Amino acid sequence: SQQGEEDPQALSIQEGENATMNCSYKTSINNLQWYRQNSGRGLVHLILIRSNEREKHSGRLRVTLDTSKKSSSLLITASRAADTASYFCARGAGGTSYGKLTFGQGTILTVHP
């Protein structure tokens, strides 16, 4: 079945609110990455968190990783209309498969002005 399952599938919030998206996976990871995709465009890399890290911040983004629960979350604080996009988590494996990212289905975030 699909790795990097995301929840919720869609999220609709008002500008200024926080948005939390979750990602679960089934097998071991070397790292987990979050990407954003605006409609009809390519993916933009947001954050990479390694398996030995628990939390990372980048501007208004906060990513946590719980390897015991095989889950990660992406928090966007003080959301803006420009944050409207699809957000994907991607599992990076180690060893000889390190180059292969396995993506989830994504969360569609809509931020209303």
Residue 99 or 113: the one with the smaller Cβ distance to another protein is 99
Least distance CB 15 / another protein (angstroms): 25
Residue 16 or 45: the one with the smaller Cβ distance to another protein is 45
Site residues (vs another protein, CB under 8 A): 2, 4, 30-31, 33, 35, 41-45, 48, 88, 90, 92, 96-106
Strand pairing category for 19-24 and 71-76: antiparallel
Beta bridge partners of 88: 35
d(CA 16, CA 28): 35
Least distance CB 98 / another protein (angstroms): 7
Whole-angstrom CA distances from 54 to 17, 27, 58, 85 are 24, 17, 14, 25
Residue 15 or 71: the one with the smaller Cβ distance to another protein is 71
